[in-house]
Structure 1
Amino acid sequence: MRRPRVRLRRPRGAVEVVSACVVGAAVLVLAVRMVIRAATVLMDAWPVVLVLAVLAGGLAAWHITRSISARRRATERLATLRITVAELDVMDDRAFEEALGSLLVRDGWQARRVGGRGDQAADVLGEHAHLGRLVVQAKHTTVGGKVDSRVMYEVKGTAGPVHRARHAVVVTNGTFTRDAMRWGERHGVHWVDRERLRCWAATGVALHELLGLTARRGRFSRAA
């Protein structure tokens, strides 16, 4: 059964107007008394309120200090990050990509992993204040595995048009075919094989120093 709607109407006549004023005044007086009572309670309990405020402020400051210290320790650890090729060999594809991203961060890049289905030949993207954007295609393989020219073609085709990158790099813990290295050097796709990866990851040489990357005009720089 539908409930009837309750509708308010304006007071009619002097009696109803006076009654409404009395009710409104009573409500106002009650509200004022409640505010005064609350203020009185707070004034009586101000030492407790002060202690609680100090404790809350101290707890917040402790959390902030702890967070800042944790970030500083993480930054310091990352600045000295070293990963051996043997450690990279036993990683899966995702861990390998994340490791390359961490190495870029160590070198001063803002890097993020983007690898996965539909990544369009980009596993890690890096941004550098002076060197621009870098796209990394990671090829984790068994020891002795070789990367062929097909990978170079794919990276060349998407680095500039799709990812707006100045630099394109293919990194593997294996090796490259001779044709792949030659094609990459000829068309501006840098390559990092097992030996270069060792220099970058294990000895601490920055990737842009290892490859001689510079910020040049164009979609992405050519090999040095």
Structure 2
Amino acid sequence: MRGGIRLRLRRPRGRREQMAAALVAVAVVTMLAKAVGAAWDAAVRGWPVVAVLAAAGLSGLLWQQVRAVRRRRAQAKLLAMLQIPLARIDALSDAEFEFALRDLLIRDGWSARQVGQKGDQAADVIGQHAQWGRIVLQAKHTTVGGKVDSKVMYQVKGTAGPVHGADVAVVVTNGGFTRDARAWGDQHQVHWVDRERLRQWAEDGVPLHDLLRLPVRRPRRTGVRRAA
């Protein structure tokens, strides 16, 4: 290296240098031993604090889980007793009507979610049940005297199975259906729930699968059968 000083280590020469190097090594080892001992003593003295903090954190997590379980149970109890008067349903918005139908399905034991939005392809609520399969609801919130026509039934029939994989297709309204819509739905397995059926479902608490007399379905096979 130009312009600098290069330090080179050489082995101790003679007894004096060797003794001096040994003393330095002993001093270094002693200092390291003291440092390790001090760290260990600090850890031993501080473990109660660490233990308390860990226990407090674990207790907090457990308490949050307990609260979540209690909250889910409370919501399930409320949904189990859910009854919605038609007058209240009439006052709902379109989106609120969809969520109300979702809650009614959950009350009846379905695993349901609201999916209605722009481009939903004639599905506002989708539910799943171990006995009755997959259900798709198309919600039509209207005036009391409003009627759903056959076009809606065509749309639901065309997308419920092919697009959403539904076993059961249902159109629900707080109004009514035209005669052609009811007849077409009965002929092509598109169930309809008019104002009177909605009253039985929402107000009286009759489960939808009983109201529509849905058949129990066999579980779908998920595996592929191997050839012998």
> Residues 180 and 63 from structure 1, CA distance in 2 versus in 1: closer, same or farther, beyond 3 angstroms?
same
> Residues 48 and 181 from structure 1, CA distance in 2 versus in 1: closer, same or farther, beyond 3 angstroms?
same
Is the 8 Å Cα contact of residues 131 and 217 (structure 2) preserved in structure 1? no
> Residues 166 and 50 from structure 1, CA distance in 2 versus in 1: closer, same or farther, beyond 3 angstroms?
same
Is the 8 Å Cα contact of residues 149 and 180 (structure 1) preserved in structure 2? yes
Matched residue SS, 2:171 = strand
Backbone CA RMSD of aligned residues: 2.6
* Rg larger for: 2
Aligned to 2:46: 45
Q: State the 1:214 CA deviation.
A: 1.4
Aligned to 1:98: 99
Correspondences of 1:89-168 after superposition (within 5 Å): 89-168=90-169
> Residues 123 and 65 from structure 1, CA distance in 2 versus in 1: closer, same or farther, beyond 3 angstroms?
same
TM-score by length of 1: 0.80
Deviates more, 1:99-108 or 1:62-71: 62-71
Matched residue SS, 2:112 = strand
Is the 8 Å Cα contact of residues 136 and 166 (structure 2) preserved in structure 1? yes
Aligned to 2:179: 178
Q: State the 1:40 CA deviation.
A: 2.3
Correspondences of 1:12-27 after superposition (within 5 Å): 15=9
Give, in whole Å, the separation in 2 of the partners of 1:33 and 1:91. 76
* One-letter amino acid of the counterpart of residue 192, structure 1: V
Unaligned 5+ runs, structure 1: 1-13, 17-25, 218-224
Q: State the 1:160 CA deviation.
A: 1.0
Deviates more, 1:111-120 or 1:59-68: 59-68
Per-residue CA deviation, residues 25-77 of structure 1 (Å, 9 max, x unaligned), is x8xx86x8766544322211222223223322222222221111111111111
Give, in whole Å, the separation in 1 of the partners of 2:175 and 2:35. 77
Aligned to 1:68: 69
* One-letter amino acid of the counterpart of residue 84, structure 1: P
The number of residue pairs the alignment matches comes to 197
Is the 8 Å Cα contact of residues 83 and 205 (structure 2) preserved in structure 1? yes
Deviates more, 1:49-58 or 1:203-212: 49-58
Matched residue SS, 1:190 = strand
Correspondences of 1:72-83 after superposition (within 5 Å): 72-83=73-84
Matched residue SS, 1:74 = helix
Aligned to 1:207: 208
Unaligned 5+ runs, structure 2: 1-7, 11-27, 219-228
> Residues 35 and 183 from structure 1, CA distance in 2 versus in 1: closer, same or farther, beyond 3 angstroms?
farther
* One-letter amino acid of the counterpart of residue 55, structure 1: A
Identical columns (%): 57
Give, in whole Å, the separation in 2 of the partners of 1:33 and 1:143. 88
> Residues 213 and 40 from structure 1, CA distance in 2 versus in 1: closer, same or farther, beyond 3 angstroms?
same
Give, in whole Å, the separation in 2 of the partners of 1:150 and 1:209. 26
Aligned to 2:20: none
